[in-house]
Chain A
Amino acid sequence: MAIVEINDLKKIYEGGFQALKGVTLEIGEGEILALLGPNGAGKTTLISVLCGLVSPTGGHARIGGYDIVANYREARQLVGLVPQEIALEPFTKVIDAVRFSRGLFGLKRDDAHIERILKQLSLWDKRNNRTMQLSGGMKRRVLIAKALAHEPRVLFLDEPTAGVDVELRRDMWETVAQLKADGVTIILTTHYIEEAEAIADRIGVINKGALLLVEDKTALMERMSSKELRISLRAPVQSVPEALAGYGLDLADDGETLVYTYDTKGEGTGITALLADLASAGLKLADLKTNQSSLEDIFVGLTTDKAEDAA
């Protein structure tokens, strides 16, 4: 069941810049969606509209079935937001900052819950520190603690690991996994493809205000894990020889090249058998080359090609 439904959402900022060009997307309950996109793609704008920081110019969105504008109270009650920029009142103590967030959402004080969150985020020892006395990574975790203070069912993490060291990044991923186990739906933005690979269930790619692709990570990884073997022949052939029909070969370069696609994660690649059969079919090889299409390639391809098509 979709807990977040976004329908043709548009945002034109004052001054006429269109940051969202009709985004449509559904996010299932309990899933982790990673939004990938270059600087200025519209990731923060999308999250900001959903959380109520920016008014939409067109379209609709619902969270837990509640319209984000008409039923903003019910919708926002379900949502926690960790903003991209660190924003904390410098003189406030960590624990007070987290209690404040809970109070804003109309919930009774619950010290046990706050303690659980702070411990989970390794902030318990720092609970009586003023936020200005914390390191950057700790501040980011305070923001997460504040976002979790009212037990949200949907959590938006806007670049949670930007400027965070490798160890803390792993911690953060674990936190996200833990939250998912608790049934929280998570939408995060990132510039790191490895991060999306490591924690997301689905990956969305956004550029210039348009959602270019949303796909299951596994499906995307499968596309990625396919590899091409390009076999250059000494003499061109007219067609793929009968004896090699079982390999699904393609002809390229006017018959000078045979292209074999295989799965690196499969049981066997079939390359040994193919080479043996090539020899017994009497074909002489000039060269061999392999190509891998990575998520990076897909990403770069998408964000450059489509943008040029649109232009």
Chain B
Amino acid sequence: MNWSAVWTIYTAEMTRFFRTFVQSFISPVISTSLYFVVFGTAIGSRIQEVEGVSYAAFIVPGLIMLSVMTQAISNASFGIYFPKFTGTIYELLSAPINFFEIVLGYVGAAATKALFIGLVILATASFFIDLQIAHPFAMVAFLLLTCLSFALFGFIIGIWAGNFEQLQLIPLLVLTPLIFLGGAFYSITMLPDIWQKLSLFNPVVYLISGFRWSFYGAADVPIGLSLLAIAGFTGACLLIIGWIFKSGYRLKP
């Protein structure tokens, strides 16, 4: 293992993140606060408790998941796409490193950034509501796994993308709807029967439900299924990454 190279990539990526620190830090704080004002106070006051907690508290896990997933994907996909775009990828390919080390550097950095933003949102939320976390270990595990798996997924998108449109395509067209329909802002038990059944095909439902369970002990789907879903997603991403490694897909002519 060339750990020095992994660390070099990781710190270079983190430097870019902290160069825009104010933006990286302030924007999640502002958007979270806005969500609380709009959903927690304005709309939430008209909504009864959901699954035994106030609506404002109910949306916290979903809100964190929403940000963590989109941030992990956009950071990882941009992180590896940018060198392809500028041509500096030549340096990665001609250095004594393998694909796994490249993945570790970029995905590690993207996951760290997403985790950081998730924690910032959690801290912001604690100003608005009285947060309770029923299963802290499970909470951390879910958070870490989500950061990691979505960063892996973002990395795959970044390798695949041939232009900036493609880079945005999947997050915009696939992910955002899945997250919003995944019960970030409601419990799927509030939906009509047919929509409840359809929701079970949405993998994000399992992640948000599991994450919310770690806060409040209540879940839309069994917690075992949630764990299986996140493990399965991580496994699938790793398999695809392994295949890219073997075939040199989109990296080497």
Contact surface of A with B, Cβ cutoff 8 Å:
13-14, 51-55, 72-74, 76-77, 79, 81, 83, 85-92, 96, 100-101, 103-108, 146
- B4 close to A53 (CB less than 8 A): no
- B8 close to A103 (CB less than 8 A): yes
- Per a CB cutoff under 8 Å, which of A51, A74, A88, A106 touches B88? A88
- A106 close to B2 (CB less than 8 A): yes
- A52 close to B88 (CB less than 8 A): no
Q: Label chain B's interface by main secondary structure.
A: helix
Q: In this assembly, does B218 line the interface, its C-beta being within 8 Å of a C-beta of chain A? A: no
- B2 close to A89 (CB less than 8 A): no
- Per a CB cutoff under 8 Å, which of B2, B88, B97 touches A87? B88
What chain B residues lie within 8 Å of A107 (beta carbons)? Answer: 4
- B94 close to A103 (CB less than 8 A): no
Q: Label chain A's interface by main secondary structure.
A: loop
Report B1-57 residues with CB < 8 Å from chain A CB.
2-5, 7-9, 12, 15-16, 19
Which of A51, A85, A103, A107: most chain B CB closer than 10 A?
A103
- B252 close to A54 (CB less than 8 A): yes
Which of B5, B96, B253: most chain A CB closer than 10 A?
B96
What chain B residues lie within 8 Å of A76 (beta carbons)? Answer: 94-96
- B86 close to A81 (CB less than 8 A): no
- B253 close to A52 (CB less than 8 A): no
Provide the bound-state CA to CA distance between A77 and B83, in Å: 21
Residue of B nearest to A87 (CB): B87
Known: A87-B88, A106-B5. A52 touches B93 (CB 8 A): yes
What chain B residues lie within 8 Å of A106 (beta carbons)? Answer: 2-5, 96
Binary A-proximity of B65-92 (CB < 8 A = 1, otherwise 0): 0000000000000000011001110111
What chain B residues lie within 8 Å of A81 (beta carbons)? Answer: 90, 94
* Top 8 closest pairs, chain A to chain B, by CB: A87-B87, A103-B8, A73-B96, A104-B95, A51-B94, A76-B96, A106-B4, A106-B2
Measured between C-beta atoms, what is the minimum distance from B7 to chain A in Å?
7
Kindly count the residue-residue contacts between A and B in the assembled complex, taking CB atoms under 8 Å apart. Answer: 74
Known: A53-B252, A87-B90, A90-B86. A100 touches B96 (CB 8 A): no
What chain B residues lie within 8 Å of A77 (beta carbons)? Answer: 96
Provide the bound-state CA to CA distance between A88 and B96, in Å: 19
Binary A-proximity of B123-153 (CB < 8 A = 1, otherwise 0): 0000000000000000000000000000000
Q: In this assembly, does B235 line the interface, its C-beta being within 8 Å of a C-beta of chain A? A: no
Residue of A nearest to B90 (CB): A83
Provide the bound-state CA to CA distance between A104 and B94, in Å: 10
- B8 close to A100 (CB less than 8 A): yes
What chain B residues lie within 8 Å of A13 (beta carbons)? Answer: 253
Q: In this assembly, does B242 line the interface, its C-beta being within 8 Å of a C-beta of chain A? A: no
Measured between C-beta atoms, what is the minimum distance from A91 to chain B in Å?
7
What chain B residues lie within 8 Å of A74 (beta carbons)? Answer: 96
What chain B residues lie within 8 Å of A55 (beta carbons)? Answer: 248, 252-253
Measured between C-beta atoms, what is the minimum distance from A303 to chain B in Å?
25
What chain B residues lie within 8 Å of A73 (beta carbons)? Answer: 2, 96-97
Residue of A nearest to B20 (CB): A91
- A79 close to B94 (CB less than 8 A): yes
What chain B residues lie within 8 Å of A96 (beta carbons)? Answer: 12, 15
- B96 close to A72 (CB less than 8 A): yes
What chain A residues lie within 8 Å of B96 (beta carbons)? Answer: 72-74, 76-77, 105-106
19 A-B interface contacts by CB (under 8 A): A52-B94, A53-B93, A53-B252, A54-B252, A54-B253, A55-B252, A74-B96, A81-B94, A85-B87, A87-B86, A87-B90, A92-B12, A96-B12, A96-B15, A100-B8, A104-B4, A104-B95, A106-B2, A146-B91
- B4 close to A83 (CB less than 8 A): no
What chain A residues lie within 8 Å of B83 (beta carbons)? Answer: 89
- A89 close to B88 (CB less than 8 A): yes
Provide the bound-state CA to CA distance between A73 and B1, in Å: 10
- A53 close to B90 (CB less than 8 A): yes
- B5 close to A103 (CB less than 8 A): yes
- A88 close to B86 (CB less than 8 A): yes
What chain A residues lie within 8 Å of B82 (beta carbons)? Answer: 89
- B253 close to A103 (CB less than 8 A): no
- B19 close to A91 (CB less than 8 A): yes
What chain B residues lie within 8 Å of A146 (beta carbons)? Answer: 91
Known: A13-B253, A54-B253. A89 touches B5 (CB 8 A): no
Residue of A nearest to B11 (CB): A103
What chain B residues lie within 8 Å of A86 (beta carbons)? Answer: 87
- B5 close to A105 (CB less than 8 A): yes
